[in-house]
A and B are shown apart, each in its own frame.
Chain A
Protein backbone atom coordinates (compact mmCIF):
# COMPACT_ATOMS: atom_id res chain seq x y z
CA UNK A 1 0.00 0.00 0.00
CA UNK A 2 1.37 3.37 -0.92
CA UNK A 3 1.72 5.95 1.78
CA UNK A 4 1.85 9.65 1.34
CA UNK A 5 5.47 10.69 1.52
CA UNK A 6 6.50 12.60 4.59
CA UNK A 7 8.87 15.48 4.14
CA UNK A 8 11.49 14.99 6.79
CA UNK A 9 14.47 17.24 7.28
CA UNK A 10 17.10 14.92 5.81
CA UNK A 11 18.92 16.13 2.69
CA UNK A 12 18.08 14.44 -0.60
CA UNK A 13 21.44 12.62 -0.66
CA UNK A 14 20.56 10.83 2.58
CA UNK A 15 17.15 9.65 1.42
CA UNK A 16 16.56 6.18 0.11
CA UNK A 17 15.37 7.63 -3.19
CA UNK A 18 18.40 9.76 -4.02
CA UNK A 19 17.54 10.33 -7.70
CA UNK A 20 16.45 13.68 -8.99
CA UNK A 21 14.96 13.10 -12.43
CA UNK A 22 17.75 11.58 -14.56
CA UNK A 23 20.43 12.69 -12.12
CA UNK A 24 21.99 10.66 -9.33
CA UNK A 25 22.96 12.70 -6.33
CA UNK A 26 25.91 12.13 -4.03
CA UNK A 27 27.13 14.35 -1.27
CA UNK A 28 28.57 14.72 2.16
CA UNK A 29 29.03 17.23 4.96
CA UNK A 30 32.20 17.81 6.96
CA UNK A 31 32.90 20.02 9.94
CA UNK A 32 35.97 22.18 9.41
CA UNK A 33 37.44 24.22 12.23
CA UNK A 34 38.18 27.30 10.10
CA UNK A 35 36.20 30.44 9.22
CA UNK A 36 33.77 30.36 6.29
CA UNK A 37 35.51 33.08 4.31
CA UNK A 38 38.81 31.21 4.27
CA UNK A 39 37.25 27.96 3.07
CA UNK A 40 35.19 29.75 0.45
CA UNK A 41 38.24 31.55 -0.92
CA UNK A 42 40.26 28.36 -1.26
CA UNK A 43 37.51 26.42 -3.03
CA UNK A 44 36.57 29.41 -5.21
CA UNK A 45 39.98 29.17 -6.87
CA UNK A 46 39.32 26.11 -9.02
CA UNK A 47 42.98 25.73 -9.93
CA UNK A 48 43.44 24.43 -6.36
CA UNK A 49 40.87 21.66 -6.69
CA UNK A 50 43.52 19.05 -7.59
CA UNK A 51 45.11 19.51 -4.14
CA UNK A 52 42.21 17.60 -2.62
CA UNK A 53 40.40 16.07 -5.61
CA UNK A 54 42.91 13.44 -6.57
CA UNK A 55 41.01 12.36 -9.69
CA UNK A 56 41.33 15.89 -11.06
CA UNK A 57 44.71 16.39 -12.67
CA UNK A 58 44.37 20.07 -13.45
CA UNK A 59 41.86 22.86 -13.89
CA UNK A 60 42.37 25.65 -16.41
CA UNK A 61 40.37 28.86 -16.07
CA UNK A 62 39.02 30.20 -19.37
CA UNK A 63 36.80 33.09 -20.46
CA UNK A 64 33.61 34.00 -18.71
CA UNK A 65 34.26 31.99 -15.58
CA UNK A 66 34.42 28.78 -17.55
CA UNK A 67 36.85 26.09 -16.37
CA UNK A 68 38.27 23.08 -18.10
CA UNK A 69 38.88 20.12 -15.76
CA UNK A 70 41.21 17.34 -16.83
CA UNK A 71 40.20 14.17 -15.04
CA UNK A 72 42.33 11.04 -14.79
CA UNK A 73 40.66 7.93 -16.16
CA UNK A 74 41.77 4.31 -16.07
CA UNK A 75 44.53 3.10 -18.40
CA UNK A 76 46.23 6.48 -18.60
CA UNK A 77 43.32 8.14 -20.37
CA UNK A 78 41.79 11.50 -19.62
CA UNK A 79 38.30 12.93 -19.60
CA UNK A 80 37.64 16.60 -20.07
CA UNK A 81 34.94 18.42 -18.20
CA UNK A 82 34.04 22.02 -18.96
CA UNK A 83 32.06 23.85 -16.33
CA UNK A 84 30.56 27.26 -15.81
CA UNK A 85 29.94 28.86 -12.44
CA UNK A 86 26.39 29.27 -11.19
CA UNK A 87 24.90 30.69 -8.02
CA UNK A 88 28.09 31.92 -6.45
CA UNK A 89 27.31 33.69 -3.17
CA UNK A 90 30.30 35.24 -1.46
CA UNK A 91 31.40 33.17 1.58
CA UNK A 92 28.29 30.99 1.33
CA UNK A 93 28.01 28.91 -1.81
CA UNK A 94 29.67 27.96 -5.07
CA UNK A 95 27.85 26.13 -7.84
CA UNK A 96 29.02 24.77 -11.19
CA UNK A 97 27.48 22.90 -14.07
CA UNK A 98 28.82 21.27 -17.20
CA UNK A 99 28.58 23.11 -20.49
CA UNK A 100 27.60 21.72 -23.88
CA UNK A 101 31.33 21.10 -24.62
CA UNK A 102 31.72 18.75 -21.71
CA UNK A 103 32.07 14.98 -21.96
CA UNK A 104 30.22 14.62 -18.66
CA UNK A 105 26.80 16.02 -17.74
CA UNK A 106 27.11 17.09 -14.16
CA UNK A 107 26.26 19.81 -11.73
CA UNK A 108 27.56 20.45 -8.28
CA UNK A 109 27.50 22.91 -5.48
CA UNK A 110 29.23 23.41 -2.19
CA UNK A 111 27.82 25.41 0.68
CA UNK A 112 29.56 26.93 3.68
CA UNK A 113 27.51 27.53 6.82
CA UNK A 114 28.56 28.49 10.34
CA UNK A 115 28.63 25.56 12.73
CA UNK A 116 27.02 26.15 16.15
CA UNK A 117 28.98 27.42 19.13
CA UNK A 118 32.06 28.49 17.22
CA UNK A 119 32.89 25.01 15.98
CA UNK A 120 33.86 26.36 12.59
CA UNK A 121 32.10 25.77 9.30
CA UNK A 122 29.93 22.99 7.97
CA UNK A 123 30.92 22.36 4.37
CA UNK A 124 28.44 20.45 2.28
CA UNK A 125 29.16 19.32 -1.25
CA UNK A 126 26.48 17.84 -3.42
CA UNK A 127 27.16 16.55 -6.89
CA UNK A 128 24.55 15.36 -9.37
CA UNK A 129 25.50 13.65 -12.58
CA UNK A 130 23.69 11.93 -15.40
CA UNK A 131 24.88 8.39 -15.90
CA UNK A 132 26.42 8.64 -19.38
CA UNK A 133 26.14 6.29 -22.35
CA UNK A 134 28.53 5.28 -25.17
CA UNK A 135 32.22 4.42 -25.01
CA UNK A 136 33.16 7.55 -23.18
CA UNK A 137 30.23 6.89 -20.94
CA UNK A 138 31.50 3.51 -19.95
CA UNK A 139 34.83 5.02 -19.10
CA UNK A 140 33.22 7.74 -17.07
CA UNK A 141 30.93 5.25 -15.45
CA UNK A 142 33.99 3.56 -14.07
CA UNK A 143 35.11 6.83 -12.61
CA UNK A 144 31.85 8.15 -11.29
CA UNK A 145 29.57 5.22 -10.77
CA UNK A 146 31.99 2.85 -9.13
CA UNK A 147 31.74 4.59 -5.82
CA UNK A 148 30.97 8.26 -6.36
CA UNK A 149 29.94 8.59 -2.75
CA UNK A 150 33.28 7.29 -1.57
CA UNK A 151 35.09 9.62 -3.94
CA UNK A 152 33.11 12.61 -2.67
CA UNK A 153 33.80 11.60 0.90
CA UNK A 154 37.54 11.28 0.29
CA UNK A 155 37.70 14.63 -1.48
CA UNK A 156 35.89 16.48 1.28
CA UNK A 157 38.03 14.87 3.97
CA UNK A 158 41.21 15.83 2.13
CA UNK A 159 39.87 19.39 1.90
CA UNK A 160 39.29 19.30 5.65
CA UNK A 161 42.80 18.01 6.37
CA UNK A 162 44.34 20.62 4.14
CA UNK A 163 42.36 23.47 5.69
CA UNK A 164 42.75 22.40 9.33
CA UNK A 165 46.11 20.68 9.51
CA UNK A 166 47.67 22.49 6.53
CA UNK A 167 48.60 19.20 4.90
CA UNK A 168 47.04 15.96 3.68
CA UNK A 169 47.85 12.97 5.91
CA UNK A 170 50.00 10.21 4.47
CA UNK A 171 51.33 7.03 5.99
CA UNK A 172 54.27 6.99 3.60
CA UNK A 173 57.78 7.40 4.95
CA UNK A 174 59.60 8.01 1.72
CA UNK A 175 58.55 10.30 -1.11
CA UNK A 176 58.42 7.44 -3.56
CA UNK A 177 55.78 5.36 -1.78
CA UNK A 178 52.01 5.70 -1.72
CA UNK A 179 50.70 6.86 1.61
CA UNK A 180 47.02 5.94 1.48
CA UNK A 181 46.11 2.36 2.46
Chain B
Protein backbone atom coordinates (compact mmCIF):
# COMPACT_ATOMS: atom_id res chain seq x y z
CA UNK B 1 0.00 0.00 0.00
CA UNK B 2 0.95 3.67 -0.27
CA UNK B 3 1.38 5.61 2.98
CA UNK B 4 2.61 8.99 4.18
CA UNK B 5 5.85 8.20 5.94
CA UNK B 6 8.08 10.16 8.31
CA UNK B 7 11.76 10.20 7.45
CA UNK B 8 13.05 13.10 9.58
CA UNK B 9 12.61 16.79 10.18
CA UNK B 10 10.56 18.40 7.39
CA UNK B 11 10.88 15.17 5.44
CA UNK B 12 7.69 13.21 4.84
CA UNK B 13 7.15 11.12 1.72
CA UNK B 14 4.58 8.79 0.27
CA UNK B 15 6.19 5.34 0.22
CA UNK B 16 5.10 1.80 -0.51
CA UNK B 17 4.62 -0.43 2.56
CA UNK B 18 3.25 -3.93 3.13
CA UNK B 19 -0.53 -4.04 3.58
CA UNK B 20 -1.61 -4.31 7.22
CA UNK B 21 -2.83 -7.65 8.55
CA UNK B 22 -5.13 -8.84 11.34
CA UNK B 23 -2.83 -9.57 14.28
CA UNK B 24 -5.02 -9.64 17.39
CA UNK B 25 -8.56 -11.06 17.62
CA UNK B 26 -10.24 -7.69 18.14
CA UNK B 27 -8.55 -6.05 15.13
CA UNK B 28 -10.13 -4.77 11.95
CA UNK B 29 -8.53 -3.50 8.76
CA UNK B 30 -9.90 -0.37 7.11
CA UNK B 31 -9.58 0.92 3.60
CA UNK B 32 -9.06 4.61 4.37
CA UNK B 33 -11.41 6.99 2.54
CA UNK B 34 -10.55 10.27 4.30
CA UNK B 35 -7.78 11.31 6.66
CA UNK B 36 -6.80 14.74 7.94
CA UNK B 37 -3.50 16.35 8.81
CA UNK B 38 -3.66 17.47 12.43
CA UNK B 39 -1.86 20.50 13.80
CA UNK B 40 -0.07 18.11 16.10
CA UNK B 41 1.27 16.24 13.05
CA UNK B 42 3.23 19.41 12.35
CA UNK B 43 5.21 18.84 15.53
CA UNK B 44 6.25 15.48 14.15
CA UNK B 45 7.05 17.26 10.90
CA UNK B 46 9.19 19.75 12.82
CA UNK B 47 11.04 16.86 14.42
CA UNK B 48 10.42 18.01 17.97
CA UNK B 49 8.63 14.90 19.21
CA UNK B 50 10.98 12.16 20.45
CA UNK B 51 10.38 8.48 19.85
CA UNK B 52 9.97 8.75 16.07
CA UNK B 53 11.68 6.34 13.71
CA UNK B 54 12.34 6.80 10.02
CA UNK B 55 9.67 4.80 8.20
CA UNK B 56 6.84 5.49 10.66
CA UNK B 57 3.43 5.97 9.03
CA UNK B 58 1.64 9.10 10.29
CA UNK B 59 -2.01 10.01 10.72
CA UNK B 60 -4.45 9.79 13.63
CA UNK B 61 -7.55 11.43 12.11
CA UNK B 62 -9.07 8.98 9.70
CA UNK B 63 -12.11 7.01 8.60
CA UNK B 64 -12.79 4.32 6.10
CA UNK B 65 -14.51 1.15 5.02
CA UNK B 66 -14.10 -2.11 6.94
CA UNK B 67 -12.44 -4.66 4.66
CA UNK B 68 -11.32 -7.33 7.11
CA UNK B 69 -12.21 -8.28 10.70
CA UNK B 70 -10.66 -10.41 13.40
CA UNK B 71 -12.75 -13.10 15.19
CA UNK B 72 -13.56 -10.80 18.15
CA UNK B 73 -14.37 -7.69 16.13
CA UNK B 74 -18.02 -6.65 16.10
CA UNK B 75 -17.70 -4.72 12.84
CA UNK B 76 -18.85 -6.03 9.49
CA UNK B 77 -17.15 -5.77 6.16
CA UNK B 78 -18.47 -2.86 4.16
CA UNK B 79 -19.37 -0.67 7.15
CA UNK B 80 -18.12 2.90 7.14
CA UNK B 81 -16.52 3.92 10.42
CA UNK B 82 -14.68 6.84 12.03
CA UNK B 83 -11.85 5.78 14.33
CA UNK B 84 -10.90 7.62 17.56
CA UNK B 85 -7.23 8.59 17.66
CA UNK B 86 -6.98 7.08 21.14
CA UNK B 87 -6.46 3.32 21.18
CA UNK B 88 -8.46 2.11 24.17
CA UNK B 89 -9.36 -1.41 25.30
CA UNK B 90 -12.75 -0.57 26.81
CA UNK B 91 -12.22 -3.03 29.66
CA UNK B 92 -9.76 -1.60 32.18
CA UNK B 93 -10.47 0.60 35.20
CA UNK B 94 -9.85 3.78 33.18
CA UNK B 95 -12.05 2.81 30.25
CA UNK B 96 -14.84 1.90 32.69
CA UNK B 97 -14.59 5.47 34.08
CA UNK B 98 -14.76 6.66 30.44
CA UNK B 99 -11.22 7.99 30.84
CA UNK B 100 -10.35 6.33 27.56
CA UNK B 101 -7.15 8.20 26.82
CA UNK B 102 -5.73 6.86 30.09
CA UNK B 103 -6.30 3.24 28.97
CA UNK B 104 -3.67 0.90 30.41
CA UNK B 105 -3.86 -1.72 27.69
CA UNK B 106 -3.45 0.00 24.33
CA UNK B 107 0.23 0.85 24.66
CA UNK B 108 2.52 -2.18 24.28
CA UNK B 109 4.21 -2.81 27.64
CA UNK B 110 7.77 -2.06 26.51
CA UNK B 111 6.65 1.24 24.95
CA UNK B 112 5.19 2.27 28.32
CA UNK B 113 8.57 2.51 30.03
CA UNK B 114 9.62 6.01 28.92
CA UNK B 115 6.43 7.83 29.87
CA UNK B 116 6.09 5.86 33.11
CA UNK B 117 9.48 7.19 34.12
CA UNK B 118 8.67 10.76 33.10
CA UNK B 119 5.08 11.10 34.28
CA UNK B 120 4.81 8.53 37.06
CA UNK B 121 2.37 6.38 35.08
CA UNK B 122 2.48 5.37 31.43
CA UNK B 123 0.62 7.17 28.64
CA UNK B 124 -2.10 5.56 26.64
CA UNK B 125 -1.77 4.72 22.96
CA UNK B 126 -2.56 6.62 19.75
CA UNK B 127 -2.28 6.06 16.02
CA UNK B 128 0.72 7.37 14.13
CA UNK B 129 2.21 9.39 16.92
CA UNK B 130 5.66 8.08 17.89
CA UNK B 131 6.73 4.98 19.72
CA UNK B 132 5.99 6.59 23.07
CA UNK B 133 2.31 6.06 22.34
CA UNK B 134 2.69 2.58 20.94
CA UNK B 135 4.42 2.87 17.58
CA UNK B 136 1.13 2.21 15.79
CA UNK B 137 1.03 2.82 12.05
CA UNK B 138 -1.27 5.75 11.29
CA UNK B 139 -4.14 6.29 8.90
CA UNK B 140 -2.59 8.57 6.27
CA UNK B 141 -2.41 5.46 4.16
CA UNK B 142 -4.51 3.32 1.88
CA UNK B 143 -5.12 0.79 4.65
CA UNK B 144 -4.77 0.73 8.43
CA UNK B 145 -4.93 -1.84 11.22
CA UNK B 146 -7.40 -0.81 13.94
CA UNK B 147 -7.03 -2.58 17.32
CA UNK B 148 -10.01 -2.96 19.72
CA UNK B 149 -12.35 -2.45 16.77
CA UNK B 150 -15.28 -3.71 18.86
CA UNK B 151 -15.20 -0.65 21.14
CA UNK B 152 -13.51 2.24 19.31
CA UNK B 153 -14.85 2.89 15.82
CA UNK B 154 -18.26 4.48 15.35
CA UNK B 155 -20.41 3.29 12.44
CA UNK B 156 -21.57 6.11 10.16
CA UNK B 157 -25.13 6.04 8.80
CA UNK B 158 -25.60 5.97 5.04
CA UNK B 159 -26.02 9.34 3.46
CA UNK B 160 -23.57 11.22 5.65
CA UNK B 161 -20.50 12.46 3.79
CA UNK B 162 -16.98 11.76 5.03
CA UNK B 163 -16.30 15.46 5.49
CA UNK B 164 -19.30 15.78 7.86
CA UNK B 165 -18.03 13.17 10.30
CA UNK B 166 -14.25 12.81 9.87
CA UNK B 167 -13.45 15.18 12.73
CA UNK B 168 -15.18 12.87 15.23
CA UNK B 169 -11.79 11.14 15.24
CA UNK B 170 -10.08 13.88 17.21
CA UNK B 171 -10.53 17.63 16.92
CA UNK B 172 -14.31 17.86 17.43
CA UNK B 173 -14.37 15.77 20.64
CA UNK B 174 -11.17 17.54 21.72
CA UNK B 175 -12.82 20.95 21.39
CA UNK B 176 -15.97 19.63 23.06
CA UNK B 177 -14.06 18.17 26.02
CA UNK B 178 -12.12 21.42 26.33
CA UNK B 179 -15.42 23.26 26.78
CA UNK B 180 -16.73 20.58 29.14
CA UNK B 181 -13.57 20.92 31.25
CA UNK B 182 -14.31 24.64 31.48
CA UNK B 183 -17.51 23.69 33.41
CA UNK B 184 -19.53 26.42 31.72
CA UNK B 185 -22.46 27.92 33.64
CA UNK B 186 -25.24 30.09 32.17
CA UNK B 187 -24.04 33.68 31.89
CA UNK B 188 -20.38 32.77 31.71
CA UNK B 189 -17.79 34.51 29.64
CA UNK B 190 -15.38 31.99 28.13
CA UNK B 191 -12.09 33.10 26.56
CA UNK B 192 -10.41 30.77 24.07
CA UNK B 193 -6.75 31.21 23.21
CA UNK B 194 -6.06 29.91 19.72
CA UNK B 195 -8.59 29.80 16.85
CA UNK B 196 -7.10 26.72 15.25
CA UNK B 197 -9.24 23.62 14.63
CA UNK B 198 -9.55 22.68 18.32
CA UNK B 199 -10.12 26.26 19.44
CA UNK B 200 -12.85 26.74 16.81
CA UNK B 201 -14.64 23.58 17.94
CA UNK B 202 -14.24 24.73 21.56
CA UNK B 203 -15.92 28.02 20.57
CA UNK B 204 -18.86 26.18 18.99
CA UNK B 205 -19.11 23.86 21.99
CA UNK B 206 -19.00 26.69 24.54
CA UNK B 207 -21.84 28.45 22.73
CA UNK B 208 -23.88 25.22 22.72
CA UNK B 209 -23.20 24.74 26.42
CA UNK B 210 -24.80 28.09 27.19
CA UNK B 211 -21.96 30.56 27.54
CA UNK B 212 -23.27 34.13 27.36
CA UNK B 213 -20.10 35.40 25.74
CA UNK B 214 -17.25 33.59 24.01
CA UNK B 215 -14.08 35.47 23.13
CA UNK B 216 -11.53 34.02 20.70
CA UNK B 217 -7.91 35.20 20.75
CA UNK B 218 -5.56 34.71 17.79
CA UNK B 219 -3.58 36.71 15.23
CA UNK B 220 -4.56 35.03 11.94
CA UNK B 221 -7.43 37.09 10.44
CA UNK B 222 -8.91 34.15 8.53
CA UNK B 223 -9.10 32.03 11.67
CA UNK B 224 -10.61 34.87 13.72
CA UNK B 225 -13.25 35.30 11.01
CA UNK B 226 -14.21 31.66 11.40
CA UNK B 227 -14.58 32.14 15.18
CA UNK B 228 -16.77 35.15 14.53
CA UNK B 229 -19.00 33.04 12.32
CA UNK B 230 -19.87 30.92 15.36
CA UNK B 231 -20.82 33.91 17.43
CA UNK B 232 -17.53 34.60 19.17
CA UNK B 233 -16.17 38.05 19.84
CA UNK B 234 -12.58 38.27 18.74
CA UNK B 235 -9.31 39.73 19.97
CA UNK B 236 -6.26 40.03 17.72
CA UNK B 237 -3.34 39.91 20.12
CA UNK B 238 -1.11 41.71 17.67
CA UNK B 239 -3.37 44.75 17.91
CA UNK B 240 -4.75 44.57 21.45
CA UNK B 241 -3.59 44.14 25.06
CA UNK B 242 -5.32 40.85 25.71
CA UNK B 243 -5.63 40.91 29.50
CA UNK B 244 -6.81 44.48 29.60
CA UNK B 245 -9.36 43.77 26.87
CA UNK B 246 -10.68 40.74 28.74
CA UNK B 247 -11.08 42.71 31.95
CA UNK B 248 -12.92 45.48 30.12
CA UNK B 249 -15.15 42.99 28.28
CA UNK B 250 -16.21 41.34 31.58
CA UNK B 251 -17.05 44.37 33.71
CA UNK B 252 -13.69 44.19 35.40
CA UNK B 253 -13.82 40.67 36.86
CA UNK B 254 -12.17 38.58 34.14
CA UNK B 255 -13.53 35.59 32.19
CA UNK B 256 -15.22 32.86 34.22
CA UNK B 257 -13.43 30.17 32.24
CA UNK B 258 -10.46 30.18 29.91
CA UNK B 259 -9.38 27.58 27.37
CA UNK B 260 -5.79 27.28 26.19
CA UNK B 261 -6.01 25.76 22.70
CA UNK B 262 -2.68 27.16 21.66
CA UNK B 263 -0.46 24.29 22.77
CA UNK B 264 -0.01 21.36 20.49
CA UNK B 265 -3.77 21.16 19.88
CA UNK B 266 -4.14 17.54 20.59
CA UNK B 267 -1.43 15.09 21.29
CA UNK B 268 2.02 16.54 21.24
CA UNK B 269 3.34 14.10 23.79
CA UNK B 270 6.91 14.85 24.72
CA UNK B 271 8.44 12.30 26.94
CA UNK B 272 12.17 12.42 26.58
CA UNK B 273 14.97 14.93 26.80
CA UNK B 274 12.47 17.36 28.11
CA UNK B 275 14.45 20.53 28.53
CA UNK B 276 16.00 20.24 25.09
CA UNK B 277 12.63 19.79 23.52
CA UNK B 278 11.24 22.78 25.34
CA UNK B 279 14.18 24.84 24.16
CA UNK B 280 13.68 23.52 20.67
CA UNK B 281 10.18 24.86 20.78
CA UNK B 282 11.15 28.24 22.16
CA UNK B 283 10.44 30.12 18.97
CA UNK B 284 6.73 29.22 18.84
CA UNK B 285 6.99 27.73 22.33
CA UNK B 286 7.67 31.01 24.05
CA UNK B 287 4.34 32.33 22.81
CA UNK B 288 2.72 29.11 23.82
CA UNK B 289 3.91 29.30 27.42
CA UNK B 290 2.98 32.94 27.39
CA UNK B 291 -0.61 32.14 26.43
CA UNK B 292 -1.10 29.76 29.35
CA UNK B 293 0.44 32.22 31.80
CA UNK B 294 -1.73 34.97 30.36
CA UNK B 295 -4.82 32.76 30.69
CA UNK B 296 -4.02 32.09 34.36
CA UNK B 297 -3.68 35.78 35.08
CA UNK B 298 -6.77 36.72 33.06
CA UNK B 299 -9.22 34.20 34.53
CA UNK B 300 -11.44 35.55 37.28
CA UNK B 301 -11.00 34.60 40.94
CA UNK B 302 -12.45 31.14 41.50
CA UNK B 303 -12.47 30.60 37.73
CA UNK B 304 -11.66 27.57 35.61
CA UNK B 305 -8.77 26.85 33.26
CA UNK B 306 -9.12 24.16 30.61
CA UNK B 307 -6.00 22.99 28.78
CA UNK B 308 -6.60 20.95 25.62
CA UNK B 309 -3.29 22.20 24.25
CA UNK B 310 -0.71 19.71 25.32
CA UNK B 311 2.39 20.41 27.27
CA UNK B 312 4.54 17.33 27.30
CA UNK B 313 7.41 18.46 29.42
CA UNK B 314 7.94 21.15 32.00
CA UNK B 315 7.23 24.86 32.08
CA UNK B 316 9.03 27.43 34.17
CA UNK B 317 7.72 30.75 35.48
CA UNK B 318 4.41 29.09 36.20
CA UNK B 319 2.20 31.57 38.10
CA UNK B 320 1.62 29.21 40.98
CA UNK B 321 0.72 32.04 43.32
CA UNK B 322 -2.15 33.12 41.06
CA UNK B 323 -3.46 29.56 41.00
CA UNK B 324 -3.45 29.37 44.80
CA UNK B 325 -4.47 32.85 45.77
CA UNK B 326 -7.24 33.21 43.16
CA UNK B 327 -8.56 29.69 43.79
CA UNK B 328 -8.30 28.54 40.20
CA UNK B 329 -9.25 25.06 38.99
CA UNK B 330 -7.24 23.56 36.15
CA UNK B 331 -8.22 20.59 33.98
CA UNK B 332 -6.30 19.13 31.08
CA UNK B 333 -5.81 15.81 29.38
CA UNK B 334 -5.81 13.92 26.15
CA UNK B 335 -9.33 13.53 24.82
CA UNK B 336 -11.49 10.61 25.90
CA UNK B 337 -12.73 10.40 22.32
CA UNK B 338 -14.87 7.28 22.71
CA UNK B 339 -16.91 9.00 25.45
CA UNK B 340 -18.16 11.68 23.04
CA UNK B 341 -18.49 10.21 19.56
CA UNK B 342 -22.11 8.98 19.71
CA UNK B 343 -23.46 12.24 21.17
CA UNK B 344 -21.47 14.40 18.76
CA UNK B 345 -22.54 12.33 15.75
CA UNK B 346 -26.15 13.02 16.72
CA UNK B 347 -25.42 16.74 17.04
CA UNK B 348 -23.89 16.75 13.57
CA UNK B 349 -26.96 14.93 12.20
CA UNK B 350 -29.24 17.46 13.91
CA UNK B 351 -27.33 20.34 12.38
CA UNK B 352 -26.20 21.68 15.78
CA UNK B 353 -22.52 21.51 14.91
CA UNK B 354 -20.89 22.53 11.65
CA UNK B 355 -17.79 20.54 10.81
CA UNK B 356 -17.06 21.22 7.16
CA UNK B 357 -16.41 24.98 7.52
CA UNK B 358 -12.88 24.21 8.62
CA UNK B 359 -11.68 22.35 5.55
CA UNK B 360 -9.65 24.60 3.27
CA UNK B 361 -7.99 21.96 1.09
CA UNK B 362 -8.72 18.45 -0.16
CA UNK B 363 -5.78 16.55 -1.63
CA UNK B 364 -4.95 13.06 -2.80
CA UNK B 365 -2.68 10.91 -0.63
CA UNK B 366 0.14 11.37 -3.13
CA UNK B 367 -0.09 15.14 -2.56
CA UNK B 368 0.26 14.76 1.23
CA UNK B 369 3.86 16.06 1.49
CA UNK B 370 2.78 19.29 -0.19
CA UNK B 371 -0.18 19.42 2.21
CA UNK B 372 2.19 19.22 5.18
CA UNK B 373 4.38 21.96 3.80
CA UNK B 374 1.55 24.37 3.12
CA UNK B 375 -0.37 23.63 6.34
CA UNK B 376 2.90 24.35 8.13
CA UNK B 377 3.91 27.50 6.24
CA UNK B 378 0.57 29.16 5.39
CA UNK B 379 -1.55 28.90 8.52
CA UNK B 380 -3.85 31.75 7.64
CA UNK B 381 -5.11 30.19 4.40
CA UNK B 382 -4.53 26.47 5.06
CA UNK B 383 -6.88 25.91 8.01
CA UNK B 384 -7.38 22.17 7.55
CA UNK B 385 -6.18 19.62 5.01
CA UNK B 386 -8.13 16.44 4.24
CA UNK B 387 -6.45 13.67 2.25
CA UNK B 388 -8.44 11.31 0.06
CA UNK B 389 -6.44 8.10 -0.52
CA UNK B 390 -8.99 7.01 -3.11
CA UNK B 391 -8.53 10.26 -5.01
CA UNK B 392 -10.29 13.62 -4.76
CA UNK B 393 -13.81 13.49 -6.16
Contact = CB atoms under 8 A, between A and B. Distances in A.
Interface of A: 31, 33, 119-120, 150, 153-154, 157-158, 160-161, 164-175, 179-181
Given A33-B91, A33-B96, A181-B135, A166 B25 contact: yes
B109 A164 contact: no
B51 to A, nearest CB: 9
B312 interface: no
B109 A179 contact: no
A180 B111 contact: yes
Contacts, number: 94
A157 B92 CA distance: 12
A138 to B, nearest CB: 25
Nearest to B70: A167
Contact of B109 (A161, A167, A173): A161
A82 B20 CA distance: 40
A169 B133 CA distance: 12
B21 A181 contact: no
B105 A171 contact: no
Contact of B113 (A119, A150, A166): A150
Contacts of B110: 154, 180-181
B100 interface: no
Contacts of A31: 93
Contact of A181 (B18, B96, B108, B145): B108
B283 to A, nearest CB: 31
29 contacts: A33-B96, A150-B113, A153-B109, A154-B109, A157-B104, A158-B109, A161-B109, A164-B105, A165-B90, A165-B92, A165-B105, A166-B26, A166-B72, A166-B91, A168-B24, A169-B87, A169-B147, A170-B108, A171-B135, A172-B23, A173-B137, A173-B144, A173-B145, A174-B19, A174-B21, A174-B23, A180-B109, A181-B111, A181-B131
Q: Classify the interface of chain B: helix, strand, loop or mixed.
A: loop
B269 interface: no
Given A170-B24, A181-B110, 14 more contacts: A154-B110, A157-B109, A161-B89, A161-B105, A165-B89, A165-B105, A166-B26, A169-B106, A171-B136, A173-B18, A173-B20, A175-B23, A179-B135, A181-B135
B189 interface: no
A157 B112 contact: yes
Contacts of A153: 109
Contacts of A120: 93
Contacts of A165: 26, 89-92, 105, 148
Contacts of A164: 89, 91-92, 104-105
Interface residues of B, number: 36
A153 B110 CA distance: 9
Contacts of A174: 18-21, 23
Contacts of B93: 31, 33, 119-120
B23 A179 contact: yes
B125 interface: yes
Interface in B35-89: 72, 87, 89
B255 interface: no
A175 B108 contact: no
B175 interface: no
B92 A180 contact: no
Nearest to A115: B93
A169 B26 contact: no
Nearest to A175: B21
Interface string B172-196: 0000000000000000000000000
Contacts of A181: 108, 110-111, 131, 135
A29 to B, nearest CB: 13
Contacts of A179: 23, 108, 135
B17 to A, nearest CB: 8
A179 B111 CA distance: 9
Nearest to B51: A181
Nearest to B88: A165
B290 to A, nearest CB: 36
Interface in B7-34: 18-21, 23-26
A175 B20 CA distance: 9
Contacts of B105: 160-161, 164-165, 169
B107 A169 contact: yes
Contacts of B147: 169
A96 B159 CA distance: 61
Contacts of A172: 23
B308 interface: no
Interface string B106-130: 1111111100000000000100000
